[in-house]
Structure 1
Amino acid sequence: MRIGMAKKKMIELNNVWKDHYIPIELKLKLLKCLIWPFMMYGCEAWSQKKDDDKRIEAAEMWFYRRILRVKWTDKRTNESVLKELKTERTLLNLINARKLKYVRHALPNHRTSLMKILCEGRLDGRRRKGRPPISLVTNLTTACGLSLHQIVQKSQDRAGWQQKVRSPIARAN
């Protein structure tokens, strides 16, 4: 994960976050333009576990608390911070939407079969003992609520797939 890099950039911009003359709306826009790209770089290929999702949500709340200058010792709930900023948690939904957009981009490409091998292919050999690892396919199917076969079919329809990709973002905003 790239949470550490994003937090480092957030700390580097401390003067911006502490400035009382910059409105909070502008600080939120700066956060989404300057910090979130560090956080989401390469997220299309991440295979996330539930623990990783919790870390992403915690980092998002850390960013918001940093903007409001809320100390970690203050007894503030996440809901009160989100209410004061007049926003909702959207980072995880954006990451899932970027994954789904990448599927639309990579599946029809006949020159590179990497995505087809990743999504549809099977590797030779035996699986290790224990629980199967979380895969990108598992993340994609849980993000959009469709099976892999349905994802492949629906991604062929450009307009319908864009509507499907935008739906998690529309619920978040």
Structure 2
Amino acid sequence: MKTILTNKHISIETRKRALQCYIEPVLMYGCEAWTISKQIQDKLEATEMWFLRGMLRIPWTAKKTNERILNETNKRRLLVRTIRKRQATFLGHMMRREKLEHLVTTGKLEGKRSRERQREKITDRLATWLGPGKVTDTLIAVKDRDL
């Protein structure tokens, strides 16, 4: 895809569309199960900018800000927002099914947790997105939706 994405004879809109259709789905494969920390979010945003710089053939050593590149391509940073939306949709599906995934997510599964540092749960990440008091309200509202 590099020859298409860096070809100056193809319009920037067509190249952005190719990036969105062919590259981003591969990049986001399985993102519903990811727990995105600040460090991973920064890497995803850097990857998104790396693709845009490559499309414009701007080396990383050039002193152009990310905002300037976003203005040149008439694009906004949407990768992390799209991943969060897909994760929220997947969380809604899990909460409505009320199977094993629901028990694990809500913490109602009995058993001991390991001694190491605990992994971040989906509900923990949801609390950082929405605020600490709104998680239970959101989980209740998810169940009211029609299947």
Q: Check whether the contact 1:96–1:143 (CA below 8 A) recurs between aligned residues.
A: no
Structure 2 equivalent of residue 117 of structure 1: 104
Any gaps of 5 or more consecutive residues in structure 1? Answer: 1-12, 160-173
Taking a change above 3 Å as real, the CA distance of residues 86 and 115 of structure 1, as seen in their structure-2 partners, is: same
User: Hey, what's the Cα distance between the residues in 2 that align with 1:119 and 1:81?
Assistant: 42
Structure 1 equivalent of residue 129 of structure 2: 143
1:127 Cα deviation from its structure 2 partner = 5.5
1:142 Cα deviation from its structure 2 partner = 2.2
Structure 1 equivalent of residue 120 of structure 2: 134
Counterpart AA for 2:136: H
User: Which secondary structure does the structure 2 equivalent of 1:88 belong to?
Assistant: coil
Structure 1 equivalent of residue 49 of structure 2: 61
Q: TM-score, normalised by structure 1?
A: 0.75
Taking a change above 3 Å as real, the CA distance of residues 156 and 125 of structure 1, as seen in their structure-2 partners, is: closer
Pairwise CA RMSD: 2.0
Taking a change above 3 Å as real, the CA distance of residues 84 and 157 of structure 1, as seen in their structure-2 partners, is: farther
* Count of residue pairs the alignment pairs up: 145
User: Hey, what's the Cα distance between the residues in 2 that align with 1:144 and 1:40?
Assistant: 22
Any gaps of 5 or more consecutive residues in structure 2? Answer: none
Point out which structure has higher relative CO (alpha carbons under 8 A, 6+ apart): 1
Taking a change above 3 Å as real, the CA distance of residues 41 and 126 of structure 1, as seen in their structure-2 partners, is: closer
Structure 1 equivalent of residue 63 of structure 2: 75
1:140 Cα deviation from its structure 2 partner = 2.0
User: Hey, what's the Cα distance between the residues in 1 that align with 2:144 and 2:28?
Assistant: 26
User: Hey, what's the Cα distance between the residues in 2 that align with 1:26 and 1:116?
Assistant: 45
User: Which secondary structure does the structure 1 equivalent of 2:26 belong to?
Assistant: helix
From 32, 39, 53, the counterpart of 1:44: 32
Counterpart AA for 1:16: I
Cα shift readout 1:96-135 (whole Å, capped 9, x = no counterpart): 000000112121114x3213322332553355366x4322
Taking a change above 3 Å as real, the CA distance of residues 19 and 129 of structure 1, as seen in their structure-2 partners, is: closer
Q: TM-score, normalised by structure 2?
A: 0.87
1:79 Cα deviation from its structure 2 partner = 0.5
User: Hey, what's the Cα distance between the residues in 2 that align with 1:144 and 1:150?
Assistant: 10
Aligned structure 1 segments of 4 or more residues deviating by more than 4 angstroms? none
Structure 2 equivalent of residue 16 of structure 1: 4
Q: Check whether the contact 1:43–1:95 (CA below 8 A) recurs between aligned residues.
A: yes
